[in-house]
Amino acid sequence: MSMHPPHQNGVQAGSSPQRPEAPSKLKHYLTGAIILLLLWGSSINTEATLGTLIQGAPNMLDLLREMFPPRWSYFDNIVPAMLETIRMALVGTTFGAILAVPVALLCASNLSRSAWIYQPIRFVLNLVRTIPDLLLAAIFVAIFGLGTLPGMLALTVFSFGLIAKLTYESLEAIDRGPLEAMTSVGASSIQRIFFGVVPQIQAHFMSYVLYAFEINVRAAAVLGLVGAGGIGHYYEVTLGFLEYDKTCVIILFTLAVVLLIDYVSTKLREKLL
């Protein structure tokens, strides 16, 4: 047999002179150590132990068992609250979208006059976006008292932040050609926006509004936990009275509504783009 395995023959003996040094693995070890440290510290800080989880597991199973079968008759009691939830989401999204338009125009660096205008507005917008919806709702409840109004306001502020950011980012990506064309025919700045910007951005804007609506429906379903109206309030009621079969109805109803709205919204967005 003329054939030899390659590592016994055919290759120069010993390592070749230009064979490179293996890169240091210190960085990997260090990263690993830091992550472990973070996890360890976090589990101490949150008192998270496997023991608690195992002890709690039977409770959890009991809870699940008590949720089934769901008490369907409760459905009638929560339909008005669900409608209220959808109304909150709708109103909040609409006002948020209306407010977002001028702010987005001011934030876009290619439409705004100077960095002195758009940088501070962007800064405030970013601050607004750090506050979660439920927190906004809690503050508005403190101001206006219990009810749907604080919920609507919270969703307005929240969707304003979201839509304004997405819109100004796509405003910055528009084609400058039509704008220049409008300037060359002697358009005023309002006319420039109407004929040069709006046609380019409207489909994107509508899809962002629908997206914000999807998120708001989910958010509106839990705002009631801090007293801001909608179906969320009924979680506290039913869980407080340990009526888990009713809680189950709320959860399933919410899931169905959310999925339905997601489906409709996705179809609409597909049509738009």
Partner 1 sequence: MTTNTTHTPNNTPSTNWRHKITKPKKNRYRWLIYLLLALVYIWAFAGIPLNGIKETAGQITRAIFTGLFSPDWNYVYLPEGEDLLRGLLETLSISILGTFISTAICVPFAFWAATNMSRTRWFSGSGKMVLSFVRTFPEIVMALLFIKAVGPGSFAGVLALGLHSVGMLGKLFADEIENMDQGPTEALLAAGANRLQIMWFAVLPQVLPGFLSYTLYRFEINLRSATILGMIGAGGIGTPLIFALNSRDWDRVGIILLGIIVMITILDLISGAFRKKLV
Partner 2 sequence: MIELRDVSKTYPNGTKGLDRINLHIEQGEFVAVVGLSGAGKSTLLRSMNRLHDISSGDIIIGGKSITQASGKELRMIRRDVGMIFQSFNLVKRSSVLRNVMAGRVGYHSTLRTLLGRFPAADVELAFQALDRVNIVEKAYARADELSGGQQQRVAIARVLAQEAKIILADEPVASLDPLTTKQVMDDLKRINVELGITTIINLHFVDLARQYATRIIGLRAGQVVFDGPVSEATDERFAEIYGRPIDDEELLASRLPSSQELEARAR
Sequence-distant (6+) residues with CB within 8 A of 253 are 75, 78, 82, 231
- 179 token code pair: 């704008």
20 forms part of the interface with partner 2 (CB under 8 A):
yes
| E strand map for 45-84 | none
Residue 101 burial (C-beta neighbours within 10 Å; 0-12, 13-18, 19+): middle
81 forms part of the interface with partner 1 (CB under 8 A):
no
Number of chain residues interacting with partner 2 (CB under 8 A): 19
* Separation of alpha carbons 54 and 136, rounded Å: 35
Q: What type of residue is 173?
A: A
182-221 binders of partner 2 (CB under 8 A): none
Among candidate residues 80, 81, 99, the one with its CA nearest the CA of residue 212: 99
Indicate the residue among 32 and 120 with the shorter CB distance to partner 2.
Answer: 32
- The distance of Cα 241 from the centroid of its chain, to the nearest Å, equals 32
Min dist. Cβ of residue 241 to partner 1 (A): 13
How long is the chain?
Answer: 273
Among candidate residues 260, 259, 244, 223, the one with its CA nearest the CA of residue 74: 244
Binding mask 156-185 for partner 1 (x = CB under 8 A): ------------------------------
Among candidate residues 120, 141, 89, the one with its CA nearest the CA of residue 264: 89
Q: Residue 258's binding partner, choosing from partner 1, partner 2, none, with beta-carbon cut-off 5 to 8 A by kind?
A: partner 1
Min dist. Cβ of residue 17 to partner 1 (A): 30
4 forms part of the interface with partner 2 (CB under 8 A):
yes
Indicate the residue among 28 and 267 with the shorter CB distance to partner 2.
Answer: 28
Residues that bind partner 1 (CB under 8 A): 38-39, 41-43, 45-49, 52-53, 55-57, 59-60, 63, 84, 86-87, 90-91, 94, 126-127, 130-132, 134-135, 138-139, 141-145, 147-149, 152, 218, 221-222, 225-226, 235, 239, 251, 254-255, 258-259, 262
Residues that bind partner 2 (CB under 8 A): 1-7, 9-12, 15-16, 18-23
